[in-house]
Structure 1
Amino acid sequence: MSASKQKITLWEFFQSLGKTFMLPVALLSFCGIMMGIGSSLSSHDVITLLPFLGNRVLQLIFMWMSSTGSFAFSYLPVMFAIAIPLGMARENKGVAAFSGFVGFAVMNLAVNFWLHARGILPTTDAAVLKANNIQNIIGIQSIDTGILGAVFAGIIVYWLHERFHTIRLPDALAFFGGTRFVPIITTLVMGLVGLLIPLIWPGFAAAIAGLGWVINGAGDFGPMIFGTGERLLLPFGLQHILVAIIRFTDAGGTLEVCGHSVSGALTIFQAQLSCPTSGGFAESATRFLSQGKMPAFLGGLPGAALAMYHCARPENRHKIKGLLISGVVACVVGGTTEPLEFLFLFVAPFLYVIHALLTGLGFTLMAVLGVTIGNTDGNVIDFVVFGILHGLQTKWYLVPVVSAIWFAAYYLIFRFAIRRFDIKTPGRDREAPRTDKGPSAATVGKSGYDTPAILSALGGRENITSLDNCLTRLRLSVKDMSQVDDAALKANRVIGVVHLNQHSLQVVIGPQVQSVKDEMASMMQSASA
């Protein structure tokens, strides 16, 4: 696949960049659940309510969960610096990841050198440290550039890797050539970048603060702008950029937590989660998190699924039932919405816009009602772990009420629109859809998909120049888009096909996309061997 490299567009670059965010975010979500369970079950209020939880062995387990879960929060920037070159590199991904760590560490060491050269360090004066935004970054006193600094470092390292990982040096220096040269050039370049950070970072910080001012200046409509924007960007795979800005930078707010200044909605929430004296969660942070998704995810989309079921032809309903139920389960339990959204996105884009607006309205309503449920997924797990287990102060009891209203609203809107405009959602065609027809036993893999048929529908191995995946989609570059058979892909349980340009497309698979991608990559490698 690497034999024929195509120049990527800016659009494809940002898509690829957004995809790399999912690796640290997935770990962050899991660690957040561990912290949530551990901190809530070791709290005084819960022990008073359920005295048996005060058992020392249980408390040690809960404290271990909370301590272990704090890992992702403590080392989040370096995880981004590693994940970006790892995810974006086309070859020698291990070298790219290693260089990502090297680059991030060297950049902060260079900043530390500059601070010493200017006489700002060494010092223990809290006022001086705060005035210069100096924090302890992986054991190095440096200017805290947060996630944004780590993203810039990761992008630079990725570029250096792509440019130099195949470099050929003279024989006398050949030992340092090839992949060994990548961390070497990374050390030199990031050492210089670190010297520039103190000079240019105040401008970036001001720009991010300005974005935060715009969003927060919108008052109660700020969460709606965020929630609607995230849904509208999702079909293009660009939602991760907006999400990362709000979750991990000053745009999502800044708050003093346990004596430390913390920026970003999600980092504020998780800092309060691990802080024994925080006394609850900040509404200014949680209004951009899980609670805002819950009306649409726990109520709205299941209502839309029921409307699509009732609007299907009676003879086809039993054939689409499995498709809709699996989509609802993925949405409610896993927080993965594409299996349902892509059932109506392409046949009725205006319905998707309404869905985006209602999702944003859910964010605003949860904020106005004072609900404080954090984390990232908006699913029933977040509802229980970060809502119910943290007591009535989170106002979790309002979520079922609002979700029921959203369920009714989605059901009525979708049922009316589908029938009024004869929208061809699943089961509306006279011919029964092939959603119930699984792959043959001879070709099905561990993923549960007929991967050989999907590969064939993409034009075969020779037509694919790059293959990757994000949370729910295959991301491909192909030589000839005319060889891609959308109908054949959908006949093999593909949820949707997004054509980005004449060479790039996305194939929406769902939660099993990683297994499908691995099977396809293995088949392509075997065929080329």
Structure 2
Amino acid sequence: MTTQGLHSHSLYKPILRPLNSHRNGDENNMLDFLQRLGKALMLPIAVLPAAGILIGIGLLMQEYSIAGGAFVQDAGLGITGNLAIIFAAGVAVGFAKDSHGAAAIAGVIGYFILSQGLIAIGGEDIDMGVLGGLLSGVTAGLLYNRFNNIQLPEFLAFFGGRRFVPIATAGLMLLVTIILGFVWPPIQGLVEAGGQSIVDAGAAGAGIFGFINRLLIPFGLHHVINTLVWFQFGEYNGVTGDLNRFLEGDPEAGIFMGGFYVIMMFGIPGAALAIGLAAKKERRKATLFAMSSLAFTSFFTGITEPVEFSFMFLAPLLYLIHAILTGSALYLATLFDVHHGFGFSAGVIDFVLQSAQGRGELTLLIMGVVYFFVYLGLFYFAIRFFDLKTPGREDEDEELAVAGSPGHVDTNPSGSSKFDQQSLQFIEDLGGGSNIRTLDHCATRLRLTVENMDQINEAALKSHGARGVMKVSKTNLQVIVGTQVEFVYNAMKDLLKNKSTNADQSNESSTRNETAEQTADPNDIAAVAAPLSGKLIPLADVNDDMFSTGMMGDGFAIEPSDGTVCSPVYARVEMIADTTHAIGLKTKAGTELLLHIGIDTVALKGDGFTALVEVGDTVHPGQALINFDLERVKKQASVVTPLIFTNLPEGWAVEHMATGDVTAGQTGIIRAKADTGSH
């Protein structure tokens, strides 16, 4: 049976379910969702430096009576005045599986419907602000992942695919707006009252926020609380949030930002120096060199994560001290009437640019010098007294190799860029390409979902340049790289996409996989690998006439012992059922294969199934294609999974060469023979 025939079958309607590259088996878990949200927030937040720079320059120009200062300032305020729309577009792109602009358009349309609809229902005073943009963006991004590849009947075909996403978003947001029109007004009152109470709490509120902000860093969730405090709480001249109000000129704003300058420009460099000085004598010079570069990054840009992750897990006590000191810095800065802010982060760039708007710069500098020595003394004492295994003090087999140290691995060999080589090493350290389900990044870290967390080699990742490794759940992993993470991400993405390397494959498996490309010749079907681990079953024993009688083609079946379906061959993904329970593949030589997960699983409508690839992708043996919740599906249907060769030559059949249990990736389990006998 050809692929076209598959599409005509009732089980394979030509509405192909798209890949949601951010989804995983735990996506219903609130932590996973919040992490996705935190990552999506990075794009609109990345716009803020432009606003901060323009406003800062404009104010400095006006202070020194330079013409055009007001114009430059207003240009920056034009950005902050439309943050809700920016969040709607940016969050939608962040949630969309391929960051496509169609999601952004849908997010903006959703926000227009929501904002205008709320006014029509509840009056001019009803406004969700940045939260409305965030809600519209999340909705549009999720709908994009679900419908960007939808195929409509021919007379509506023009509106199919990505063009359908804004339509779907408009329809859903209309319903959401009607509901929120009656539900949101009392909620808005509570949000405004709660936010104002935090603002009115003054030094205490600022201190608590600083403490919680640092505690959420390990999970990547600090962006969520930052969004509320910096963009939603408090109001001045029609804008909300501490950051917005500060840039707008609110003299009372800046209490949730000013204290961070003390930590990022002075405290973190003090901690970095303490770590270097406390290193073992033979490693002190190399560790000081490495930590100094990270300290300068924090001082100059306000990005602290590379330093924080160097001790966060090795010495949790130090991180608790760091969180307490951060809270105390914000508390004291507010107590000393400091009102200072930033457009991106509390580094020296923003400190200078926002000096015309803020007040208390001298206080911050004096506090900074004090905190530098407080961090230096506390960290050095704690490291030495408790013998904490910070960088430069690890046991020999766990040492974090830094540039210039004996264990350092050269990441820039001749003929290879630094990031290509480091990415190749990272892929190997992560268990190989087949162990990586999804790959993404934020400002300083790689965000991944993996097949098997046990295959992650943390020590090797650190020796190849990772600042830290965070295992968020059984499948979610974060690798802290630093400010150059985007270059590492791009190189890894290219390597995984192009399959220029298969870091997890031994020479033996590489040879085996090379023969798997030639499955168009029935004699080479022996090279086909088992797509799942479990019990091998003859097709004739499958409890479904469509498969057992060979109606769709010959093949075999597996009763799986886990929920990961892998590619049995080198192939192109030709079809993914709209319910994700089946996938069609086609090899380079023309052989067509169908993997049908379970029997009667179409009735589950995709519940419990997650696609890890999309139509058009090129896949290799052992690469994960679909994850499904084995126990959940087993309760509702048979999980026996047939693999069908839909276009075997006339007169050829599949013969089993193995019985009993097989392992995913195992070859030699079947062969084809010129025999029209039974299965």
TM range (shorter): 0.7 to 0.9
- Code of the aligned partner of 2:209: F
- Code of the aligned partner of 2:245: I
User: Aligned runs of 1:122-137 on 2, under 5 Å?
Assistant: 132-133=124-125
1:517/1:91 CA distance change after superposition, 3 Å: same
1:101/1:175 CA distance change after superposition, 3 Å: same
Partner of 2:73: 66
Q: Secondary structure at the match of 1:343?
A: helix
Q: How many Å separate the matches in 2 of 1:78 and 1:446?
A: 38
- Code of the aligned partner of 1:301: I
Say whether residues 1:328 and 2:299 are aligned partners: no
User: Aligned runs of 1:318-467 on 2, under 5 Å?
Assistant: 318-375=285-342, 376-387=344-355, 389-390=356-357, 394-429=359-394, 431=396, 433-436=400-403, 437=408, 438-442=410-414, 444-445=416-417, 447=419, 450-467=422-439
- Code of the aligned partner of 1:12: D
The answer to whether the 8 Å contact 1:36/1:385 transfers is yes
- Code of the aligned partner of 1:504: N
Q: How many Å separate the matches in 1 of 2:244 and 2:183?
A: 24
The answer to whether the 8 Å contact 2:113/2:170 transfers is yes
Q: 2:179 aligns with which of 184, 193, 196?
A: 196
Partner of 1:174: 157
Say whether residues 1:266 and 2:243 are aligned partners: yes
1:17/1:485 CA distance change after superposition, 3 Å: same
1:224/1:150 CA distance change after superposition, 3 Å: same
The answer to whether the 8 Å contact 2:277/2:288 transfers is no
Partner of 1:127: none
Partner of 1:311: 278
The answer to whether the 8 Å contact 2:119/2:127 transfers is no
> Could you tell me the TM-score, scaled by structure 2's length?
0.66
Structure 2, unmatched stretches of 5+, are: 1-17, 500-616, 619-679
Structure showing the higher strand proportion among its residues: 2
Rg: which structure is higher?
Answer: 2
Partner of 1:126: none
1:209/1:444 CA distance change after superposition, 3 Å: farther
Q: How many Å separate the matches in 2 of 1:201 and 1:444?
A: 56
Q: How many Å separate the matches in 2 of 1:98 and 1:219?
A: 39
Partner of 1:128: none
- Code of the aligned partner of 2:93: L
Say whether residues 1:477 and 2:446 are aligned partners: no
The answer to whether the 8 Å contact 1:449/1:492 transfers is no
1:74/1:213 CA distance change after superposition, 3 Å: closer
1:3/1:165 CA distance change after superposition, 3 Å: closer
State the 1:181 CA deviation: 1.5
1:183/1:501 CA distance change after superposition, 3 Å: same
The answer to whether the 8 Å contact 1:87/1:93 transfers is no
Identical pairs, percent: 35
Q: 1:254 aligns with which of 235, 246, 265?
A: 235
Q: How many Å separate the matches in 2 of 1:215 and 1:114?
A: 29
1:49-105, Cα deviation, whole Å (9 max, x unpaired): xxxxx4xxxx23x44432332232122101100111211111462221221122112
The answer to whether the 8 Å contact 2:256/2:330 transfers is yes
The answer to whether the 8 Å contact 1:450/1:492 transfers is yes
Partner of 1:206: 189
1:430/1:114 CA distance change after superposition, 3 Å: closer
1:99/1:442 CA distance change after superposition, 3 Å: farther
The answer to whether the 8 Å contact 2:269/2:296 transfers is no
The answer to whether the 8 Å contact 2:110/2:173 transfers is yes
Q: 1:42 aligns with which of 62, 70, 74?
A: 62
Partner of 2:564: none
Partner of 1:525: 497
State the 1:430 CA deviation: 6.1
- Code of the aligned partner of 1:282: P
Say whether residues 1:19 and 2:2 are aligned partners: no
The answer to whether the 8 Å contact 1:446/1:515 transfers is no
1:209/1:105 CA distance change after superposition, 3 Å: closer
- Code of the aligned partner of 1:265: D
State the 1:444 CA deviation: 4.8
Partner of 1:153: 136
Partner of 2:600: none
Q: How many Å separate the matches in 2 of 1:98 and 1:469?
A: 23
1:128-185, Cα deviation, whole Å (9 max, x unpaired): xxxx41xxxxxxxxx4220011111112222322332233333333332222211111
Q: How many Å separate the matches in 1 of 2:193 and 2:71?
A: 39
Q: How many Å separate the matches in 2 of 1:421 and 1:443?
A: 45
1:415/1:113 CA distance change after superposition, 3 Å: closer
State the 1:242 CA deviation: 0.5
Partner of 1:97: 104
Q: Secondary structure at the match of 2:311?
A: coil
Deviates more, 1:187-196 or 1:20-29: 187-196
State the 1:373 CA deviation: 1.4
State the 1:2 CA deviation: 4.2
Structure showing the higher helix proportion among its residues: 1
Root-mean-square deviation (CA, aligned residues, Å) is 2.2
Say whether residues 1:88 and 2:95 are aligned partners: yes
User: Aligned runs of 1:276-287 on 2, under 5 Å?
Assistant: 281-283=250-252, 285-287=253-255
1:158/1:310 CA distance change after superposition, 3 Å: same
State the 1:448 CA deviation: 8.0
State the 1:395 CA deviation: 2.2
- Code of the aligned partner of 1:22: M
Partner of 1:6: 24
Deviates more, 1:66-75 or 1:327-336: 66-75
Q: How many Å separate the matches in 2 of 1:400 and 1:187?
A: 50
Q: How many Å separate the matches in 2 of 1:514 and 1:68?
A: 29
The answer to whether the 8 Å contact 2:262/2:364 transfers is yes
State the 1:371 CA deviation: 1.5
The answer to whether the 8 Å contact 2:108/2:136 transfers is no
Q: How many Å separate the matches in 2 of 1:112 and 1:268?
A: 23
Partner of 2:476: 504
- Code of the aligned partner of 1:107: L
1:463/1:414 CA distance change after superposition, 3 Å: same
1:107/1:212 CA distance change after superposition, 3 Å: closer
State the 1:261 CA deviation: 2.9
Q: 2:209 aligns with which of 226, 242, 247?
A: 226
Deviates more, 1:339-348 or 1:157-166: 157-166
1:214-240, Cα deviation, whole Å (9 max, x unpaired): 524544211001001000001000001
The answer to whether the 8 Å contact 2:104/2:137 transfers is no
Q: How many Å separate the matches in 1 of 2:215 and 2:395?
A: 31
- Code of the aligned partner of 1:341: E
Deviates more, 1:482-491 or 1:200-209: 200-209
- Code of the aligned partner of 1:331: S
Q: How many Å separate the matches in 2 of 1:162 and 1:292?
A: 40
State the 1:318 CA deviation: 1.6
Partner of 1:138: none
- Code of the aligned partner of 1:29: P
State the 1:474 CA deviation: 0.5
Partner of 1:236: 219
Partner of 2:577: none
State the 1:112 CA deviation: 5.1
Aligned residue pair count: 473
Q: How many Å separate the matches in 2 of 1:322 and 1:443?
A: 26
Q: How many Å separate the matches in 2 of 1:113 and 1:395?
A: 44
Deviates more, 1:318-327 or 1:174-183: 174-183
